[in-house]
Amino acid sequence: MKVRFSDLGISQEMCHELRRSGFEEPFEVQRETIPDMMLRRDICCRAPTGSGKTLAFGIPMIEHLTRANPNRPKSLILTPTRELAEQIFKVLDPIAWAKNFRMMSIYGGVSYNKQIRKLDKGIDSVVACPGRLLDLMDQGHVDLSEVEFVILDEADRMADMGFTDAVCDILEQCNPERQTALFSATLDEYDISHIKDNYLTDPVTIGVGKEDVSLTEMDHHFWLIPNAKKSNITAEAVRKSGRAFIFCRTRAGVERVADELQMEGLRVSIIHGGLAQRQRARAVEEFADERCHAIVATDVAARGLDVEGVYCVVHYDPPENGNAYKHRSGRTARAGSSGNVISLVQNPQKKQWSTIQKHVGLNVKFKPPEFNDLTLHEDISYIAPPRPMNRRRKDRSGRNNNSRSDSGKKHYGNRNRRNNDSGGRSNNSRNNRSRKPKFDRNKRPPKGAGRSRGRGGDNKRKSRNNH
């Protein structure tokens, strides 16, 4: 017997809005959680990413939502990443808007002023990342004392990212009579248990789907390769396997690898914590629309993004631990499909990778790359790349900073390049070595000749954080 949204205690008006938005029948997590949430019970739900959690908590929340005063929202959804916050907002905002409620998302990387202006006008429901929300609370722009409904989405991921204390600080400021619902891929971690025991009241515990990412549904490969071959091997693996997620440890690593893969003929997008939200959203959109072959990302993208059609995950750099390996690898082999998980291993990293294998219950030998071992999908079509992603600039003379002088030594100019001259740059080039006289270092060119104008183009990149 089919279960419909109307069977779960939802109003006819809400059912109508759900049909208008294309939601006909509830998923399992919605069937299991909505009735108890409609009765205003606290919920502790174990459910994987992509199971339909957003509507599971969003429908009851909007059903019970009331109009808020300026700077005093009535409901709060906490989530670990900007991408997930935006996803939740895009799903729930049309439904809330149809019922004359106002929602907004709050996260870092965008203007404070825009967010403050919206809050001053009165927002009924907020989807927020903990860091930016605490900033706005400290500045006096958000008061949570009238919050009636709190959702903790991807609670385990927030714990992994070090947000536990921030989440607890936020919950302390909320109305103690609120309804609280916690959603997590696992419920047995210490931080999750701490929040459950201290901030939920007699919660109903619900489990949906598999308790963890199943590593048995994907093919795992641990390839021993030198560092110099990693980009070439990665590009070939993507061409064989199909569209991929490629994970690096740092922001600088993401950009470097993206440049190298594009030189190998792939079109890629990047995601890391140093990008503006619109840039990160554009990367996800390009991948979802099959306008690029791969996303190169830090672990910020390992959870919270529900993107179909990922046939390959490449651990370009080792993950921090076994949990991170699972979270990264869980991007592929969804909904019963197969997928390749490729770990690029250098000899000094074998001990680290062995520890990760032991943690996740794998026993896979390290061996050289073998593309015939990969599960093959449809060959990816060629996509003409845009402008080169290499962000290194040449100075106005056309040289890069690795050009060599005629002495064979690297040419290191002053940092501000004010004293650079053109002497000895190219007179001994391979094609002209026999035709031109040897350069006399004692004869300098006229003052100013060959000098870069201004500071030149070799400006150093600003230092970056790791995520």
Range with lowest mean pLDDT among 88-92, 185-189, 293-297, 387-391: 387-391
CA distance 390 to 57: 43
Per 3-state DSSP, what percentage of the chain is helix, strand, and coil (rounded to 5)? 35, 15, 50
As beta bridge partners, residue 146 has none
More confident residue, 148 or 1: 148
**Res 60 pLDDT > 90:** yes
Q: Is residue 72 situated within a structural domain?
A: yes
Q: Is residue 107 situated within a structural domain?
A: yes
Q: Is residue 219 situated within a structural domain?
A: yes
Q: Is residue 388 situated within a structural domain?
A: no
Q: What is the pLDDT of residues 213-260, one digit of tens each?
A: 667 778 999 999 999 999 999 999 999 888 899 999 999 999 999 999
If DSSP codes are grouped into helix, strand and coil, which group holds residue 270? strand
Burial 58-90 (b: 16+ CB within 10 A, else e): bbbbbbebeebeebbbbbbbbbbbbbbbbbbbe
Q: Are 411 and 404 a contacting pair, CB within 8 Å? A: yes
Rounded percentage of the chain residues whose pLDDT exceeds 90: 49
Among 143, 176, 207, where does a domain finish?
Answer: 207
Co-location of 279 and 200 in the same domain: no
**Res 327 pLDDT > 90:** no
**Res 160 pLDDT > 90:** no
Position of tokens 């459910």?
47
The letter for the amino acid at 344 is L
220: CATH:
3.40.50.300
Measured between alpha carbons, how far apart are the two ends of the chain, in Å? 47
Alpha helices in 4-78 (DSSP H): 12-20, 28-38, 53-64
Co-location of 155 and 224 in the same domain: no
More confident residue, 415 or 63: 63
Indicate the angle between helix axes 112-121 and 130-138, nearest 10 degrees: 70
Co-location of 259 and 278 in the same domain: yes
Q: Is residue 419 situated within a structural domain?
A: no
Indicate the angle between helix axes 53-64 and 82-98, nearest 10 degrees: 40
Co-location of 194 and 224 in the same domain: no
Co-location of 140 and 220 in the same domain: no
Q: Could you give the C-alpha distances from 129 to 22, 145, 155, 281, in angstroms and in order?
A: 28, 18, 12, 16
Q: Which band of pLDDT confidence, cut at 50, 70 and 90, is reported for residue 423?
A: very low
CA distance 18 to 25: 9
As a whole number, the mean pLDDT across the chain is 80
**Res 288 pLDDT > 90:** no
Range with lowest mean pLDDT among 160-174, 222-236, 359-373, 409-423: 409-423
Q: Is residue 101 situated within a structural domain?
A: yes
Q: Which band of pLDDT confidence, cut at 50, 70 and 90, is reported for residue 362?
A: very high
- For residue 460, give both structure tokens: 């150093």
How many domains does the chain contain in total? 2
Per-residue pLDDT, 289: 82
Among 152, 185, 207, where does a domain finish?
Answer: 207
Co-location of 232 and 173 in the same domain: no
Co-location of 189 and 222 in the same domain: no
Among 373, 388, 407, where does a domain finish?
Answer: 373
Per-residue pLDDT, 161: 74
Q: Are 269 and 319 a contacting pair, CB within 8 Å? A: no
Range with lowest mean pLDDT among 16-20, 120-124, 342-346: 16-20
Co-location of 170 and 231 in the same domain: no
CA distance 143 to 139: 10
Choose the most confident range, by mean pLDDT, from 127-141, 392-406, 423-437.
127-141
If DSSP codes are grouped into helix, strand and coil, which group holds residue 259? helix
Co-location of 95 and 221 in the same domain: no
Position of tokens 């009579």?
177
Q: Is residue 453 situated within a structural domain?
A: no
Per-residue pLDDT, 247: 95
**Res 403 pLDDT > 90:** no
Q: Is residue 276 situated within a structural domain?
A: yes
Q: What φ, ψ does residue 384 adopt, rounded to 5°? A: -60, 125
Per-residue pLDDT, 157: 82
Co-location of 179 and 226 in the same domain: no
**Res 319 pLDDT > 80:** yes
pTM of the model: 0.57
Per-residue pLDDT, 405: 38
If DSSP codes are grouped into helix, strand and coil, which group holds residue 148? coil
Co-location of 179 and 300 in the same domain: no
Instruction: Note down the domain range covering 163.
Output: 5-207
Q: What is the pLDDT of residues 9-24, one digit of tens each?
A: 899 999 988 988 888 8
Range with lowest mean pLDDT among 22-36, 60-74, 201-215: 201-215
Co-location of 29 and 142 in the same domain: yes
**Residue count of the chain:** 467
More confident residue, 162 or 245: 245
